[in-house]
Structure 1
């Protein structure tokens, strides 16, 4: 049975390979692949229940290797996606795979409609978020391992977000659930506004953190030692490669995929900490993050779902994170909660009662003061009063 706890994390790679096959098959297969993956997560999380197992896994090297495999997998997915909108048969990919499989990839690509190419942007962006950002997040927390840090930053380059490895580790984890944290969405904020605000503030925060580091080490800000500059240059190289493959339109297609992947990260930030408040004088605790233990999300996202433990102890590897079933819980699994977040009226209808319940059940006395101030600013105080009147009647 212990072997199953290692094998379950390879489901992550099967999801990625499914997306890769759909992009190469072209035509309606691209849209079908997107629909299948979305349905798999939403329905799978709904019917598979929670995973609260806490096995002790000792093959750490294998578990790390699983993470490193994300880089060639994501590179293959993005290559297939870029190839799908090219006129030329880049790297003779279609001819070679057609000869190997007997399936005419070039003919299928020629029949792909703009609607299916839009599905390609969404599917590729989803994979950049899942295969790239989720794994890059885990790897760039391993600041003691230069190989993992390098692989993680390369993965984050696909979403133009290598600065995540700076701001998230040294900024977000320090200031989470306070007004100083760009990634924590205050009560009442619209998710689409949060994507923009968090992106801008996160980049500014990463720059400030990196400048301070360089000054401590005696290096110039405008030098090869600047990780922010190196990271953005790495992303620029990816855009240049897409341009070489098919010109400006293909480069623009890749940029759309990358930006969608980046937007997904900010949506995830939004739902992981929405409405949370924390007294800056107190340490981060499991109650300061929304958690979920949905089985499929946990198995295919390297336990990102166990976010409460991750923020309480950011250095703990994914396989050792605990489920914390008593932590505040999200609406559902990750993709389900993302879909709800993208519909602001539905999000606020479902989350406002959960946030107010958090005030009662989890907040310290100092945090209740912060929460009351946030409620008045967001309109939640009026909602609570209306709810109380309805209950009395």
Structure 2
């Protein structure tokens, strides 16, 4: 097998390093770095075509190591971001690295225009969502591997989303594409409403799942065995560390970036499941999730794009996921599709024909009835029968 199939996933790490370099360079380079990442993935997916390769990996430990290194990479990025908003040279970091590189990091930080700190926030939020949540998603499914679970939970702590490790594995995968799943957005819902509702209902679902688990084990709900409470404490600890590094500016940047990362997760949930329906008495099939095989998105996101197969067989590692060419397709790659969701009128206009096509071509008889009812409730004219639009 070609070495490229191992190296291609290093695009993930290269993206994180590019973000770190932009933050270190300071000034307009922060905004340039953010813009470069957006352009690389939107244009790259548009021009790079699909990756439908399914190689057999003989050294899976190397790929697991790539996942684990996301934690130090993300921690390093956040340290640099916190240093960039600090009033002091934390641990002499700027002087030390400036001496090694010959670049005046302290001067660049001093000259950074306030507006570029908006780019710092967006870049950190994007990286928390990408380096943190995407990797954590893969790791928390490895319920047989305590180290992977621990690293995954710490990665989720950066986005205040310990509930995801519980609700996603034990709730979402069971109820996907039904009204019981907080992450599945019904037809007609905007992405902004979904971010709020999915977050609230997801945490409530995680609490219920954890409470039932603790009851089966004979443990108290409010105790150390509660994984949800431990997760909240992990996030609180990270906020405290951010405060120690750079005071309130750092703590506020960390909180804002973490919430941005959490919002990105819910937007991705929205893209992956919007409007799809499933007969709750039938097993999950590839047709119950939106799929994408865009090359750059697949390489930089550990095949998260092959979401249809992931939901059909959630226990499989990302290297074993198949492209599922007959599954319903997203508009494009992940970042391109994400940007479209932020414009609800455009999103609903583009998705309406795809939903109607799914209703005709892929839905079961029961699901077509569910879809007809969902279309009537959606408030979207293009989804209603022609007779009712007059």
* 1:329 paired residue number: 329
Does 1:297 find its partner at 2:297? yes
Q: Deviations over 1:313-363 (max 9, x none)?
A: 001000110000110000000000000001111101101111111101110
Conserved in 2, the CA contact under 8 Å of 1:183 and 1:202? yes
* 2:158 paired residue number: 158
TM-score (ref. length: structure 1): 0.97
For residues 389 and 150 of structure 1, the distance between their equivalents in structure 2, rounded to whole angstroms, comes to 53
For residues 64 and 263 of structure 1, the distance between their equivalents in structure 2, rounded to whole angstroms, comes to 26
Q: Deviations over 1:139-169 (max 9, x none)?
A: 0000000000000001010000011000000
For residues 249 and 63 of structure 2, the distance between their equivalents in structure 1, rounded to whole angstroms, comes to 39
* 2:122 paired residue number: 122
* 2:257 paired residue number: 257
For residues 374 and 126 of structure 2, the distance between their equivalents in structure 1, rounded to whole angstroms, comes to 32
Q: Secondary structure in 1 aligned to 2:302?
A: coil
Q: Deviations over 1:170-209 (max 9, x none)?
A: 0000000000000000000010010000000000000000
Conserved in 1, the CA contact under 8 Å of 2:375 and 2:384? no
* 1:76 paired residue number: 76
Following superposition, the deviation at residue 383 of structure 1 comes to 4.1
* 1:345 paired residue number: 345
For residues 310 and 58 of structure 2, the distance between their equivalents in structure 1, rounded to whole angstroms, comes to 19
Does 1:315 find its partner at 2:328? no
For residues 197 and 36 of structure 1, the distance between their equivalents in structure 2, rounded to whole angstroms, comes to 32
* 2:199 paired residue number: 199
For residues 288 and 348 of structure 1, the distance between their equivalents in structure 2, rounded to whole angstroms, comes to 19
Residues 368 and 296 of structure 1, relative CA distance in 2, 3 Å threshold: same
For residues 293 and 174 of structure 1, the distance between their equivalents in structure 2, rounded to whole angstroms, comes to 24
Following superposition, the deviation at residue 111 of structure 1 comes to 1.1
Q: Deviations over 1:31-66 (max 9, x none)?
A: 000000000000000000000111111211101000
Following superposition, the deviation at residue 243 of structure 1 comes to 1.0
Following superposition, the deviation at residue 387 of structure 1 comes to 10
Does 1:15 find its partner at 2:21? no
For residues 386 and 350 of structure 2, the distance between their equivalents in structure 1, rounded to whole angstroms, comes to 16
Structure 1 runs not aligned, ≥5 long: none
Q: Secondary structure in 2 aligned to 1:114?
A: coil
For residues 361 and 92 of structure 1, the distance between their equivalents in structure 2, rounded to whole angstroms, comes to 62
1:38-49 to structure 2, matched below 5 A, reads 38-49=38-49
**CA-based RMSD:** 1.4
* 2:282 paired residue number: 282
Does 1:110 find its partner at 2:113? no
Q: Secondary structure in 1 aligned to 2:162?
A: coil
Structure 2 runs not aligned, ≥5 long: none
Following superposition, the deviation at residue 386 of structure 1 comes to 4.5
TM-score (ref. length: structure 2): 0.98
Q: How many residues align?
A: 390
* 2:148 paired residue number: 148
* 2:131 paired residue number: 131
For residues 8 and 248 of structure 1, the distance between their equivalents in structure 2, rounded to whole angstroms, comes to 39
For residues 47 and 34 of structure 1, the distance between their equivalents in structure 2, rounded to whole angstroms, comes to 20
Residues 10 and 205 of structure 1, relative CA distance in 2, 3 Å threshold: same
* 2:244 paired residue number: 244
* 1:96 paired residue number: 96
Q: Secondary structure in 2 aligned to 1:56?
A: coil
For residues 278 and 68 of structure 2, the distance between their equivalents in structure 1, rounded to whole angstroms, comes to 35
